[in-house]
Amino acid sequence: MILATLGLFLASAAAAQEPRAADLAGRLGCFACHALRGQGGKVAAPLDGAATRLNPEQLETVLTHPRRLHPGAKMPGYAYLPPEERQALVDFLQNVK
């Protein structure tokens, strides 16, 4: 019972973070190049299903040093973001279907 309650709490916490992370992605300009649910830019890979293409560590690397995984990437690095904001973006990208 306790584990089930903890699981519900964690799922609720992740769902609550998604709008904040989506807002952060919008402020960073991610949607200028990346599509999300069929909307937004089309220059780069869509954010939908990013977790099917990259694991959490790779998502972190792409956010902080994009050219390490994609040498020709035009995406800026976001290593300057506070760790909790980077983690929120990784979590968001893991959950975008």
Domain count of the chain? 1
Residue 50 maps to which CATH number?
1.10.760.10
The per-residue pLDDT for 5 is 41
| pLDDT per position as a tens digit, 18-55 | 669 999 999 999 999 999 887 877 789 999 999 999 99
1 alpha carbon, distance to own chain's centre: 31
Taking the C-alpha atoms of residue 10 and residue 24, their distance in angstroms, rounded to an integer, is 21
Provide the residue range defining the domain that includes 33.
Answer: 2-95
